[in-house]
Amino acid sequence: MSRGNPYQEIEHGGPGRIGWRIHYFHELDSTQSAARDLVADGAAQGTVVVAERQTAGRGRMGRQWHSPAGVNLYATIILRPAIPLAEVSRLSLVAGVAAAEALSREAPGLVTLKWPNDIWIRGRKAGGIIAEAITGSHDDLVAVLVGIGLNINLAAADIPEELRGRATSLSIELGRLCDRIAIADSLFSFLDYRYMEVVSNGFGGIRPIWELFSALTGRSVGVVEAGRRVSGTVRGIDDDGALLLDTGSQTIRILAGDVTIEGAYES
């Protein structure tokens, strides 16, 4: 485990609050796997796992998450919400709002959210979120692992060939290095605030804030959902976190899928 934990200084609050305990590792296959083990050991809500480097970082849809050492933030937050399994994906939107708020402190006006789970700076991907549910023997929800990857000090030369032009980092966009611990601190504080808000008042209250950051609202997009491609104009998201797509003849709800902005690069 740790040879000195630089994230210990930002731990705050007691069990249940996001970031009350931060486990720090130099290298992991994935912070998601380490968090899963902690859940099995009974870790309280709000426990966080951070790694300097991941050897098998996991992205959405079975993709790899590029996780080099010493430059970015790779974190998994353990949540234990009393919600139905079907509502788990909303938590990744809540985390998206918190990540956008935290990055916006460094880069005001440059951060947007691309439904469902991408964090963009100046229109390029600088972060991503996954939410994995852990269920019990009766399909009951035991915990949710919210994984957040943020490219903070990743250099342009270290962006893998296949992501060039589509990925970026905070430091590339700002032209200076940024303090990862301070960004983690504001990320966990914003997530604590937004998550507690959703637990008390439901997702509906946070939807307009997500919309403020939306990169897609009003744009013409193509969506691939369950192997089928649909085109239309994005009208926003609904209180379930579904994307509202105006196809010209009707507005349909997209629950999961990959979105491409017409005329822009493939994401």
Task: Give me the residues that bind ligand BTN (CB under 6 A), please.
Answer: 30-32, 54, 57-60, 63, 65, 74-76, 117-118, 128-130, 147-149
Looking at the Cβ atoms of 125 and 235, the one nearer to ligand BTN is 125
Beta strands in the chain (DSSP E): 21-28, 47-54, 73-79, 111-114, 118-121, 124-135, 141-150, 220-225, 228-237, 243-246, 251-254, 258-261
Residue nearest to ligand BTN (CB): 128
Looking at the Cβ atoms of 59 and 222, the one nearer to ligand BTN is 59
Residue corresponding to tokens 């009766």? 138
Answer yes or no: are the C-beta atoms of 222 and 263 closer than 8 Å. Answer: no
23: three-class secondary structure by DSSP: strand
Looking at the Cβ atoms of 32 and 171, the one nearer to ligand BTN is 32
In angstroms, what is the minimal distance from the CB of 247 to ligand BTN?
26
In angstroms, what is the minimal distance from the CB of 50 to ligand BTN?
9
The conformation of residue 54, written as its DSSP 8-state character, comes to E
In angstroms, what is the minimal distance from the CB of 23 to ligand BTN?
13
Answer yes or no: are the C-beta atoms of 184 and 7 closer than 8 Å. Answer: yes
Looking at the Cβ atoms of 132 and 246, the one nearer to ligand BTN is 132
CA distance 213 to 97: 8
CA atoms within 13 A on the CB side of 188: 32
Looking at the Cβ atoms of 54 and 217, the one nearer to ligand BTN is 54
CA distance 112 to 128: 12
In angstroms, what is the minimal distance from the CB of 28 to ligand BTN?
8
Q: How far is residue 5 from each of residues 67, 130, 142, measured CA to CA in Å? A: 19, 24, 28
Looking at the Cβ atoms of 149 and 232, the one nearer to ligand BTN is 149
